[in-house]
A and B are shown apart, each in its own frame.
Chain A
Amino acid sequence: MTDRHPPRAPEGHCDGFSRAQAIRRVLGSGRLPVVREWDPRMPIPAGAGIDRRRFLAGALAGVMTVYGAERLGVTNRMLGDGIARAAALQPVDSPVLVSLFMQGGLDGLSLLAPSTDPLYRQLRPTLAVAPGSGVPFREDASLTWHPSAASFAQLHNAGKVTVFPGIGYTSPDMSHFTSRHYWEVGATDASLLTGWMGRYLDLVGNPTNPFQGLSMDGQINPTLATAKNPTAAIDQPNNFAVYLSGVWGDAAEWALESASALGDAQRHSRDPAIAQVAGAASEVGIVRRTLQPFRTTNANPTGPSGTSANPGAAYGSSVTYPSASSGDLPARLAGLAAMIAAGVPLRCVALTTDTQFDTHSGQAQTFDSGVRLVADSLAAFQADLEARGVDGRVLVHVWSEFGRRAQENGSDGTDHGAAGASLLIGSRVNGGMIGEFAPLNQLDSNGNQQENVDYRGLYCSLLEQWFGQDATPVIPGAGSFPRYKLLA
């Protein structure tokens, strides 16, 4: 054996998911047990300091006051005043918008398939979804939900999903990076540097609340890039670790405060590099204090068989999330539900799937497992929000940078396309369908589906109907896009 990966068929990746993401998340979420189950050859992090962390957590617990235990839904963890302090930065019960990016270009023609259309079967000789294999789409009898999207179908039939089957923009760009950028900044403008949600936060946000724009990818999500107001990036609320080697008690607290103070002093530096580093240091202070109540000594419980148990358990969820064996999207969503319920002052949240949907080859398998995980996780998230009584405050927008070419390629996959599918999920959505399926006999000159809803019209409608914010100062050319009735 000269190769450490098990043999498998070659597979193409031109974007997105890398093992780094998986490793980061796995490692960050309660290291030792997960590391072992994920890959026995991966080294156990030396000196990762589980004991030191427990010690530090215990030391700090002494100065915490108990707040909001009921809302967190757990009683056996120490609770701090960090959330209370942070929550004061924004009205309770503020609406929250969650953006979930299915990276790589999701195949809309598989998510909602015209399975009985002869033209479809001709374009997709190996990849066509078989008639009768999935739940029929309520809004359009010619379409079938992909079998892996059963949870979406169920939510849709319960009136909790609005479907945009043909969303995109005119003159579509088939580059991942350009098209993704357009969606992220809310304009077909390659040079815009702020995200569309970031610009909203610059207008209405708070100069001291990084949680108003929270990335849960372990790095800043470009949709949340602001010009002035702070934002934060975490992985999950229970694994945001900040500690110093060989420093404890008051000295540890003072040292971390000192690092944040240096960040405060330099975050407005005229030198952008210094401002970037200092801004992060400054925001770490608030994030650290606020998330302290979520830190647990058993962040990622493992079941008796060695597989991951319900990732929601770490957050006191009463619902069962999918097992975390294929990335930690379920755990991140469970953590998000707990933060919303606990009153963490969130406004815009962005997440990216672990799976990348850039299926140039071997599409069937990647699509099936990837969509299943996303659909089942979002269904659990919705149920969790309902159980915690906060579902009325939350809307989830699911999107991808483009759909895929109608004609499959010679590698059991599909190349980059144009119009694709988008979903809006929540208890207050209108349900139903906005726009329509883009017909296969009206493909564009590149053989791609053409859009019938502009994504910027959706953004304008979200700003106006969900946040009560005039879209004009946020979305360039807002007046030129139609509005859609999104809420019931």
Chain B
Amino acid sequence: MLDPSPIAEYRGKFAEQQATRLLWRAAFGPRPGEAERLAGLGLAGAVASLTRPRGVARLIGAAPHDEHGNPLDPINTWGDDHCWWLDRMVRSSQPLIERMTLIWHSWFATSEEASSARLMIKQNWMMRRHALGNFHQLLLDVTVDPAMLLWLNGNTNYKGSPNENYAREMLELFTLGADRGYNQADVHQNARALTGWTNDWDEGQGPVNFRFEPKLHDDGVKRIFGHRGRFDWRDSCRLAVNHPDHPSFLVRKLWGYLVGADIPRGVARALEHAYVASRHEIRPLIEAILRHPLFYEGPRLVTPPVVWTAGMLRASRQTITTTSWAWIASLTGQVLFQPPNVSGWNYAQWLDTSRWAGRLEAVDVALQEHTLSGKTYPYGITENAKQAYEHAIHFWGGRPLSDTARHNLLALGRQIAHGQNQTWEQVEFRQLRQNALRALIPMTPDWMTA
């Protein structure tokens, strides 16, 4: 095989602005001062700090709790599973591992609707272990993961009566892409190869004892993508990742999560080559994408709701102090462990009128302990509109906004101040103004995109 052109690297300025984009796309947004510190490492150092974390992840800051101070109970309490993972996104010392786990959660989208929080969290740890590992290994573990077996009927796919559900989505959504290099006959034969998994039912625990039963497996000859053999589930995974249409599918999909929809043909070829040469390793691919010029020079991406939410908490130095985040997530359009369907979340369309309103409710929760009221005003009663704006920016970590957004908020500040001359109004209108500015900053396109 000819060597493809080498993968391009970003050579421009790597300053706070570039580091900020890196933190929003490969982590969960900057903590105050974090983008500046990351910029100091240079591009290679900054990327390596994310892709090659040392040791085990530490959770930095106060442990999560509900509004009464009780610790979370993700297995047994509704919504605590969402908050449990959101907390890791806010506090983990290895944020890219969490971000990659989120990508795999959407890629192999499984919902707890078909199983339980217990099995979903088990799957979540499995995906975290493979976050920057090997895709073939990840696919093998996903294929026989209990939550996935329940979700796509892998546990009722038996010899003599194959159920095509997992066999089809494995090719269409997980490894090859719709109608790329396979047909309905391949789906059917793939379902036969995947037969043999089952489980028991326990009145207390629900589904238990997931296992391969040779007598439920169809050990006859199958023909998949033109290959013939007595294939089983391991062969099914092997054939899929070695299919010639798999590397292009994987590279395009991964690029879509991190850079956007369009990938130039030459870039795709180079990344595909690297992926195959490494025998399906994920880390080198991610490092190449995070160092690519288009990552920094291309158009912006809408930040997914759960990432934006974690980013608000990080920027304002908060941790999880309420489990409201679980129902808020349903309004913003991204409840963890409950993707809308097996194709995962639609990263191309995060915002509409309904979800914009939902994000405003999320801001309300983030500001719950930071809404100003009462008889005093912390910044003094001589504060003008420009100072009010600066104070609100500082509340959210000091990140500057575009001129368009800044002028809009300054005009609002002046409008609220206009005509407020009475002494008794001096505190109240400044509270209203500061509350309004704090609420609207995370709602700007500056904050919702990166």
Contacts and interface: CB of A to CB of B under 8 A. Distances in A.
Given A1-B204, A28-B331, 16 more contacts: A2-B118, A3-B205, A10-B155, A19-B113, A19-B335, A20-B338, A21-B340, A174-B184, A177-B343, A218-B355, A219-B354, A246-B373, A258-B440, A274-B449, A281-B445, A411-B153
A4 B333 CA distance: 23
A41 B151 contact: no
A452 to B, nearest CB: 21
B77 A41 contact: yes
Interface residues of B, number: 103
A424 to B, nearest CB: 26
A10 B150 CA distance: 6
Given A3-B205, A14-B152, A27-B327, A246 B178 contact: no
Given A251-B416, A251-B432, A360-B153, A175 B179 contact: yes
B423 interface: no
Interface of A: 1-5, 7-21, 23-24, 27-28, 39, 41-43, 45-49, 173-178, 190, 210, 215, 218-220, 231-235, 240-249, 251-252, 254-255, 258-259, 261-262, 265-266, 269, 271-274, 276-281, 283-284, 287, 356, 360-361, 409-411, 413, 415-416, 446
Given A251-B432, A265-B404, A281-B443, A360 B351 contact: no
Contact of A12 (B152, B207, B339): B152
B138 interface: no
B322 A46 contact: yes
Contacts of B113: 13, 17-19
Contacts of A416: 164, 168
Most buried by B among A20, A274, A409, A416: A20
Contact of B361 (A241, A281, A361): A241
20 contacts: A3-B118, A10-B207, A18-B113, A43-B326, A43-B327, A175-B168, A218-B355, A240-B357, A245-B435, A245-B439, A246-B367, A247-B436, A249-B432, A251-B433, A255-B412, A255-B439, A273-B299, A274-B300, A361-B163, A411-B163
B331 A24 contact: yes
B324 A43 contact: yes
Contacts of B67: 46
Nearest to A38: B78
B75 A2 contact: yes
Contacts of A283: 352-353
A283 B355 CA distance: 12
Contacts of A1: 76, 204
Contacts of A174: 168, 184, 187
A262 B406 CA distance: 10
A258 B404 CA distance: 12
A277 B448 contact: yes
B302 A276 contact: yes
Given A247-B436, A281-B443, A233 B355 contact: yes
Nearest to B437: A255
Interface string B316-338: 00000011101101110101001
A14 B342 contact: yes
Contact of B353 (A4, A39, A48, A234): A234
A247 B439 contact: yes
Across the A-B interface, the 3 shortest Cβ-Cβ residue pairs: A410-B161, A246-B435, A246-B371
A contacts with B: majority SS: loop
Contacts of A246: 367, 371-373, 431-432, 435
Contacts of B373: 246
B36 interface: no
A8 B360 CA distance: 37
B302 A262 contact: no
A15 B341 contact: yes
Interface string B279-304: 00000000000000000000111100
A7 B158 contact: no
Interface in B338-376: 338-343, 349-357, 360-361, 363-365, 367-368, 371-373
A20 B340 contact: yes
Given A245-B364, A281-B443, A4 B77 contact: yes
Nearest to A218: B354
A276 B206 contact: no
A211 to B, nearest CB: 10
Contacts of B338: 18-20
Contact of B156 (A42, A231, A240, A361): A361
A242 B360 contact: yes
Nearest to B371: A246
B162 A262 contact: no
Contacts of A240: 353-354, 357
Most buried by A among B187, B329, B331, B367: B331
A240 to B, nearest CB: 6
B3 interface: no
B356 A280 contact: yes
B236 interface: no
A276 B355 CA distance: 12
Nearest to A272: B299
B411 interface: yes
B117 interface: yes
A54 to B, nearest CB: 16
Contact of B411 (A42, A190, A258, A413): A258
B141 interface: no
Interface string B22-63: 000000000000000000000000000000000000000000
A255 B66 CA distance: 31
A411 B156 CA distance: 6
Contacts of A415: 163-165
A266 B404 contact: yes
B172 interface: yes
B405 interface: yes
Nearest to B203: A7
A448 B178 CA distance: 19
A280 B351 contact: yes
Contacts of A259: 440, 443
B78 A12 contact: no
B436 A255 contact: yes
A244 B117 CA distance: 33
Contacts of B411: 258
Contacts of A4: 75-78, 116-117
Nearest to B110: A13
Contacts of B163: 12, 360-361, 409-411, 413, 415
A27 B167 CA distance: 36
A13 B439 contact: no
B169 interface: yes
B444 interface: yes
B413 to A, nearest CB: 10
B268 to A, nearest CB: 17
Interface string B364-400: 1101100111000000000000000000000000000
A448 to B, nearest CB: 10
B435 A254 contact: no
Interface in B132-190: 150-153, 155-156, 158, 160-165, 168-169, 172-173, 178-179, 184, 187
B156 A12 contact: yes
Contacts of B117: 3-4
Contacts of A21: 330, 340
Contacts of B416: 251, 254-255
